[in-house]
Amino acid sequence: MNDTKIDAPQESILSAFQSSGVSRRAFLRFCAGLAVSAPAGLALTQNASAQTVAERIGSARRPSVIWLEFADCTGCTESLLHASEPAIAEVLFDIVSLDYHETLMAGAGRQAEAALERAIQSNRGNYVLVVEGAIPSGATSGYARTASRDALETVRAVAQDAAFVVAIGSCASWGGVASAAPNPSGAIPASQAIAGKTVINLPGCPPHPSILLSVLLEHAAMHRLPVLDGAGRPRFAYDRLIHEDCPRRGHFDAGRFATAFGDDAHRNGWCLYKLGCKGPQTHASCSTRHFNGLPNTWPVGIGAPCIGCTEQDVAFRIPLFQLVDIHAATPAEALPPIAEPAHRSQTAAAIAIGGMAGAAGTAAWFAARRLPGTKARTVEEETEELEALSLREAREEDTDAADTERR
């Protein structure tokens, strides 16, 4: 293998943004989105204004990321690339130094192996290893061999010098579909394959891209990792049940259920519990972080019951249409109206929110609903405040320059 070194990513995130031509407005908008979509649970955003978040992110060094893929469908990478609001695919390459990603890189064979080795050597001890997919570990399997190494050997070798490991998606976190019985390849999660390193689980099929970015930025800007729950998931994104913030919850509490796909109740947005929805047992933020920047774009939002992919013992373990036990019977504090079909009220809210700020605005809206007496700020409000501040600073600089000239 070639051990030629490449420069460690010393460039700040803000200068990477500027040199790639991303506008200051886009950067501020991204920071404002982060501030409202993860208002608590991260040191980066906790009690911080969007301006503070922007300063912290802008001055941070870009983290080096090595991304390995094993037994999976590439859905997590796809989700990251297709995210549109905030424009994560655009900002991803400015925020992180993605030094190795098998699916996205142009190189192959020895060239790719040399690139992996260079990425390890250049940031030894500092890079973040992102693992996508389960690790086939069958002793005689021969599954997932690359460059004459099996998956277990590869992931252990690369994890050895990582700062920490992120298991992205349900396959890397729990084994996912690859580990479903009878599990012929002996697929195991990253946390079982790797010893002696912190493994942060970001389950989801796929997880929302903003969760990964938030973890990477917490590390890059604050030099710390987010608080994790007992399953290794960041609390800021996995502390609530889908059922608690579900727009169909009002129907659940009113006993209004869809009983067949396409029936009137299903079309009218009633609760999907009787169609096997696992939301009452699933900790995830899909109901507040909608996908692709489109309000209500998430499984339950489009009429598909939650399959519980963020829970180790639910997805691929409990049959799709089997009903789950209800542990949280108390109605949520804020519920959508039940006097009209839920989808009608959601649509009105979605139009308003979509016009404002897409997914981040939606998150703020839900955050406001679940914290009585608080009003979440929208991305627009945060961005406007930041721009006003930039304008003031620019005027002050002009005045100073004019004064200096006069003197």
Which residues form the interface with ligand SF4 (CB under 6 A)? 242-243, 246, 248-249, 252, 271-273, 277, 279-280, 300, 306
Minimum gap (Å) between residue 268 Cβ and ligand SF4 = 13
Q: Record the tokens describing residue 86, joined without a space.
A: 């905030």
The smaller minimum CB distance to ligand SF4, of residues 172 and 271, is found at 271
Dmax (CA) for the chain in angstroms is: 82
Minimum gap (Å) between residue 247 Cβ and ligand SF4 = 7
Minimum gap (Å) between residue 327 Cβ and ligand SF4 = 12
The smaller minimum CB distance to ligand SF4, of residues 121 and 268, is found at 268
The smaller minimum CB distance to ligand SF4, of residues 67 and 270, is found at 270
The smaller minimum CB distance to ligand SF4, of residues 189 and 280, is found at 280
The smaller minimum CB distance to ligand SF4, of residues 272 and 350, is found at 272
Minimum gap (Å) between residue 400 Cβ and ligand SF4 = 56
Closest residue to ligand SF4, based on beta-carbon distance: 279
Minimum gap (Å) between residue 250 Cβ and ligand SF4 = 8
Minimum gap (Å) between residue 349 Cβ and ligand SF4 = 16
The smaller minimum CB distance to ligand SF4, of residues 309 and 379, is found at 309
Q: Is residue 234 a contact partner of residue 226, using CB atoms and an 8 Å limit?
A: yes
The smaller minimum CB distance to ligand SF4, of residues 197 and 256, is found at 256
Minimum gap (Å) between residue 269 Cβ and ligand SF4 = 9
